[in-house]
Structure 1
């Protein structure tokens, strides 16, 4: 067996009326007309992108510049919106060099390339002067509230028009983006706080002047950044990422807020690089399954060059530690205090009984007689009802001299599991201990051979830390000896005819001796994670067996044909596997809903929601 094989298992607001000042609403430029996009993003996909466009001032300078890199970047975002799942773009200020009418008009024309892409823009010190109470400016007439009003993400602006917020959907949840002026007044701080108070969502704060970095990329709060940190960021736990421009070189730091949780602060600016930054774009690729944000930086304009010069080639993509890196965030844990992930409601048994269901067991009040409180022992003789109506009820029993805490009721469950309950097994070796749930002597499932196919599903979780020796513990099986069924090709005649087990390396092993021949086709998974729920499905179409883990097909499925299961008419069991018709150790961990269907199901028909 190749014990080096491993694969990380992937899984797992309220709206506000925009507040506009009368002056800004009357003078702001209208939003540009829509242009066709290259496909729309999927707000449910756990992998999505928020794009960041830093200072473009040297490209929008009436003294002599070229707006084409900006247009190329925006066209790229529109074109790749669907394929890169770009849900939003945020700009970091200093749109122009002098903030004049002519430069703002050039910026307006450049941003027409964004089409229907939702985005935010904020003012930098080269666009405006003073704080956000400055009144009317060419910037406000160009990038005031009316520009964003028709965007589906737009939530509103401060009365002065210089600060705005957007609610963005990605990964099946909502995110708040605050776009704050380069100098936030006391009124601006109060407005931002009201937005945070009324939108308890994971928040990305964007502004122009936040942190500056040393040459090695180590960043520090600027004077303005310190004010924002003290008055707005550190006391609002929902702000987990803050982005600024203004300074170069780029860099990053992580600070701890008043709730004791990390806040990631980044400075992103490439105006000092070739061609005024060449429309450099940064991708923040959120991956909620891997619990990371992968960051990359590149110039779409330079990527499009058919024959780039050596200097252009050098700047197509930036790969230094401050330009390409990964931020690790356990999103569920980080946001649990204010925006816990939605957990699907329990599903009734009737919702998960497809045609040809043989047995369905669950351990909440619907399925387990006298279901107790979390941690309460499950007394021997407790019946877990077969909710399929086929009479394959299970009865609990303790093995050897195991104490009552060897089998307990638990409120823990996989988020996608129909029942919000499970059983906690405390099996182990030396001395052997454990607990099992067995069907009665005459249960129909005991003697079924499933020659037309089958799907066996269960949910399980291994403890963290995973203590002790639990190699080859059983999850589920049929009792009896393979040798008594005329099967002698396997590891031992004493093993059962069908079982799902966990090896010493925490690999799943599923073995089922087929009906017509003496063979032992076996499937092996990767190493299971500890401390996390896993869904397992074994599917046989009447010829071959395929194992799925968390809805994904594994690679090491049996090449041998295997029709049916050579059962001996003996009980089906959850919680252990026999050898020579004797139980040694029992399962160690949690087991949830378990279902057997007498045909092959598709992954979209599994119990896993």
Structure 2
């Protein structure tokens, strides 16, 4: 391993995916570089904390640098495009997959060198590895000594980059660490034929970064001659020596062969490794400088992949020739596709998401708290109101099973448990909770505003739970003196439609008719935080602190009351509970003022 060890910034921030990392890496070489002859800057900055980012992959460009037969324009256009789109695509890294040139000649590397300087001047981090056309192919592995490739793309070229971590002593293998989506990622750029010593080096690099997900780039690994991708003979060696037993490697990228292809194999840990082959040198104009863009989206747990030719895209439509028109972008299923990856689950063995510590109830009793119920203990007949206002809940059985204690909880929930309510209808079954007949909460009208919050996971049991109630207030519109709409509707109900859409339907104090906020369809079997906020004038529904669309602009103030109890885990019609709630409830808080999302329980 080259030089000494130095410390990378391991700071992390809770986003979609959270992982710590005080990552120790092998580097030790100066990142200071010479001043570029011509100043070129990137169009904007990348956001290293945003859950969506892009890695660009450039395969075999050898026909563009083939003695006097090539043309540097396509690759130049590609690199200029990447620089221009850096901020828009949140492009964090560019990886070349080898076979930069055709004949490994010094004059060919002299042609390629200024093209890559487009990236150098923009301070765009990138890697380059040696393909078989970049070196003397008669040498069996990377212990081949000096070469024109090494003089152009050896460690000296990358030392100026903040992402560069180090190289093997022979200079033909290197690694980079870049930051994206709030964490560090490691990329290995391995030679066309790594020696056993270089494989050992790669394993040591991974071991020195035990919490980082790894992308492996190398020139040969997968081929797809028959239309079905599989490992080549050398690819099997790479798999056995490096990939199989290193669970951190989740994605490999290689060129060399064509056509493109992809497959998925399970490693020794039983996890998927996605192995992708990209090569376009057999296509029009030596591949036209095509680039494959890997759009990582940790919010959607997906990598969206597209393949485009910026050089052709930049041509005026009327001036493109017939062959160019067919190469603007590739849309077949091996060049434009999506890879679903549950990043948290896939990286759990080496970088588990830190569980947010539980927070005691007393920390969440803020000014104005009218009631605060937590379901983080054994199921009993009484649930304590932690607000200190005395609005305790008692259990009511309908039919069948009663709620049961569960260790499941929303990741941002203060209490680390919940109750599973096994409710249903026809007949009404399960159970619910209600305040006492004389509870102070029953009389409150909240004219100055209110916030009602709950952590919820709807049941995914295949049953019909249409119009189930999560939280409601006994008493009808008629009971509260309201005559508009259907006066048998409850004065307050937070529940879900037949399509699992959130519905906040109430009789406000200042209106004779019902007032309804609607949400979108919620996914059963998935935890979410729900909040209804009224500032004394308007009501707004939030899911996971995100404001929803269908919030009325009509003014409404307060909540009508007939002085009757509140229910948790049920709704009613004409004061009759027709079903119990089906799903998990983590905790519920009612505050007699409007809260900002930064004050919610999940903040």
TM-score, normalized by the shorter chain, greater than 0.5 = yes
1:316-465 aligned at under 5 Å gives the runs 316-347=328-359, 356-364=368-376, 371=377, 377-386=378-387, 389=388, 391-400=389-398, 406-464=402-460
**Partner residue, 2:7:** none
1:322/1:32 CA distance change after superposition, 3 Å: farther
**Partner residue, 2:305:** 295
**2:530 paired with 1:536:** yes
1:433/1:37 CA distance change after superposition, 3 Å: same
Number of equivalences: 576
Instruction: Please give the alpha-carbon distance, in whole angstroms, between the structure 2 residues aligned to 1:530 and 1:309.
Output: 50
Give 1:61 shift: 2.9
CA contact (8 A) 2:261 2:276 kept: yes
CA contact (8 A) 1:32 1:112 kept: no
Equivalent residue for 1:227, pick from 237, 244, 250: 237
**2:90 paired with 1:79:** no
Give the unaligned 5+ runs of structure 1. 1-9, 365-370, 372-376
CA contact (8 A) 2:384 2:393 kept: yes
**2:100 paired with 1:122:** no
Partner-residue secondary structure (3-state), 1:398: strand
Instruction: Please give the alpha-carbon distance, in whole angstroms, between the structure 2 residues aligned to 1:556 and 1:512.
Output: 15
Instruction: Please give the alpha-carbon distance, in whole angstroms, between the structure 1 residues aligned to 2:534 and 2:153.
Output: 60
Partner-residue secondary structure (3-state), 2:206: helix
**Partner residue, 2:474:** 479
Equivalent residue for 2:161, pick from 122, 131, 151: 151
Give 1:442 shift: 4.5
Give 1:452 shift: 3.4
CA contact (8 A) 1:31 1:147 kept: no
Give 1:222 shift: 1.4
Instruction: Please give the alpha-carbon distance, in whole angstroms, between the structure 1 residues aligned to 2:93 and 2:390.
Output: 52
**Partner residue, 2:12:** none
1:348/1:156 CA distance change after superposition, 3 Å: farther
Instruction: Please give the alpha-carbon distance, in whole angstroms, between the structure 2 residues aligned to 1:137 and 1:347.
Output: 61
Instruction: Give me the TM-score of the superposition, normalised by structure 2.
Output: 0.88
Give 1:517 shift: 1.9
1:163/1:578 CA distance change after superposition, 3 Å: same
Give 1:401 shift: 5.3
Give 1:551 shift: 3.0
1:561-576 aligned at under 5 Å gives the runs 561-576=555-570
**Partner residue, 1:207:** 218
Instruction: Please give the alpha-carbon distance, in whole angstroms, between the structure 1 residues aligned to 2:90 and 2:453.
Output: 32
**Partner residue, 2:24:** 16
CA contact (8 A) 1:31 1:148 kept: no
Instruction: Please give the alpha-carbon distance, in whole angstroms, between the structure 2 residues aligned to 1:173 and 1:384.
Output: 40
1:37/1:475 CA distance change after superposition, 3 Å: same
Instruction: Please give the alpha-carbon distance, in whole angstroms, between the structure 2 residues aligned to 1:501 and 1:448.
Output: 20
**Partner residue, 1:553:** 547
User: 1:145-195: CA deviations, max 9, x gaps?
Assistant: 232233232222222221122223222233221111110111111111122
Instruction: Give me the TM-score of the superposition, normalised by structure 1.
Output: 0.87
CA contact (8 A) 2:16 2:51 kept: no
**2:199 paired with 1:192:** no
**2:115 paired with 1:93:** no
Give 1:196 shift: 2.2
Partner-residue secondary structure (3-state), 1:83: helix
CA contact (8 A) 1:392 1:439 kept: no
Instruction: Please give the alpha-carbon distance, in whole angstroms, between the structure 2 residues aligned to 1:203 and 1:253.
Output: 17
Give 1:461 shift: 0.5
1:140/1:361 CA distance change after superposition, 3 Å: farther
Instruction: Please give the alpha-carbon distance, in whole angstroms, between the structure 2 residues aligned to 1:490 and 1:135.
Output: 86
**Partner residue, 1:512:** 506
**Partner residue, 2:117:** 112
Q: Which moved more, 1:150-159 or 1:10-19?
A: 10-19
1:169/1:19 CA distance change after superposition, 3 Å: closer
Give the unaligned 5+ runs of structure 2. 1-14
User: 1:516-571: CA deviations, max 9, x gaps?
Assistant: 22111222322221221012122334333332223333333346442221123333
User: 1:475-521: CA deviations, max 9, x gaps?
Assistant: 11122222111223344x33321111123332222101111221112
Give 1:51 shift: 1.0
Partner-residue secondary structure (3-state), 1:301: helix
Give 1:199 shift: 2.2
1:193/1:31 CA distance change after superposition, 3 Å: farther
CA contact (8 A) 1:396 1:435 kept: no
Instruction: Please give the alpha-carbon distance, in whole angstroms, between the structure 2 residues aligned to 1:351 and 1:342.
Output: 21
